[in-house]
Structure 1
Amino acid sequence: MGSSSRRNTMSDVTIIGLGPMGSTLARTLLKNGTNVTVWNRTREKAEQLIREGAEFNPEAAAAVSASPIVIVCVANYEASHNILGSHEVAKNLEGRLVVELSTGTPQDARNSETRVREQGADYLDGAILATPAQIGMPDTPIFLSGSEAAFRRSEPVLKILAGNLIYMGEAVGAASAWDLATLATTFGAMFGFFHGSRILESEGYRVDSFGSMMADISPVLGQMIKYEGEIIQTGAYENPQSSVKTCRGTADLWLKQALEAGINNEFPTFAMGLFNKAKAAGYENEELAAVMKVLR
């Protein structure tokens, strides 16, 4: 469908940014019968989407005007602001709903909401907890926060992209905060997995088997995390199931094994640093979650 075929009609959604995620968002909407306008700084990334039925507009201002809902998925909020904040684009935002799916901090979200609302548009902030390959699946999660009216208005479109929409409330920074917290947990686990993989490699074992085993026991690990979260929230660190002292002994073993096997010891050294601070602060006989008091 060429750029002239719907020249005088509104599309349902405009997608700003055609990186791997933005392109997948557009393609998923198209496959589900949604009329989509796309914009990217270069037309090259839009060519395949045009062939699949998207409307491409080379001017960001016109692309924003083309739809009542504008989904922005670019590298970061600065890039988003550079696009939406230009005079020509900003004056076309009135009456639109901007759904920001770029990556940033809670303060980025608050700043973005202020700027967009100053232009007469509604605003919803979101964070996609998935890879492009997972877009469109019934269990794919997206955190969303901001105006509830904006959420309800965009919900039918966003449900096409992710079946598990998680609305975090009116505080617009919530989606980003929960996203960053989730990513911290994910990458913390990943770095631990990488160190564990080096332990097994040093003993001649298969890492893929290790990955499969971790997947199988992940519900148990999830319950451990849930328990520590409850301890932190209540502040009941006494009568530990797993004390700081016991867990610090595990870090000692990581370091000992790393020295014996001659493998990288950065992960256990980092962990030992926190354990040592907790010990020095007198938390050694409290629940592992007492390390949180060191971080505070």
Structure 2
Amino acid sequence: MAVALGAGYSGDMQLRMQNGHLLLSIKGALVWGAGVKGYLTFEVGYDSIVALTELVRQEMAANQYKDLEWVDGEAMDYLQKLSFLGATGIDVAFAYVRGYAIVKGIFEALTEGGRGGLIAYTLIRDKNQKAIRDWVFNLQPEALGPLLLTLCAPPKAFTPEQDEQAEVFDEEQTHLLQQRAIEKCLTWISSKANASLQFEESIIRMNRDGARPSQAGSVYCQNKLKLDTFMAERVLSLQVGTNDMRNRYRALVSTMGARLNDHCGYHTEYKGPAFAPIQKIKSTYKGPNID
């Protein structure tokens, strides 16, 4: 129903959460014609959730990734988690049928650390690359931020559960796989007209909740440093294409982050005893207030 109405009618719709269920209310006049007053309310079914999620992602992109008036906070949080699951190859309709508690549990398990390799494996090797790309392409920053955070977490060796050949990825191979996944996600979104805004907001929201913190400029610089540091590791650099991939990443970040990058400053601090100091790179932001 929501897809049939389209984005142009979004002012006549309301999406909210109630008792763990998504409820969509639509002006009666849009369904039954002029003269019908009030709203018709439907529970969003499993057969509509993917289309509704896509509509909301498109609407957010068109609205410069600002909150949508017709979607309440709880509903938006639910859709953010479902979108994250979709981008990681999980069947969104299947997860939705099992309820919010299950969706939240899966989301938290995937973002708690140590799952970056498995997620990267799906992003790089899933047979249905078009479906994965479509999820990532319009992924709201509230979901893309946690995804990037998960992908740049310290790599851990793993074995893909669905791989009958029991291929084992050691830490270096996992690190490279995660690097490839990050570069691929950024490549997918880079063709959009508002790719820079999606990128900036996603970097700012690189936390497990996808929340937008205060002092967003400083957070942008800190999180970009974290991502850059992870991508700068020249793991398995003798493999064909690995250095080209990292060069593409740097070019993508330079282009999509052009508005804020020059406002970030970095300096090295040394702590500990003089004979064995610990080196740490600190970031500073000296740009306009973007809160």
TM-score (norm 1): 0.31
Which protein shows a greater Rg?
Answer: 1
TM-score (norm 2): 0.31
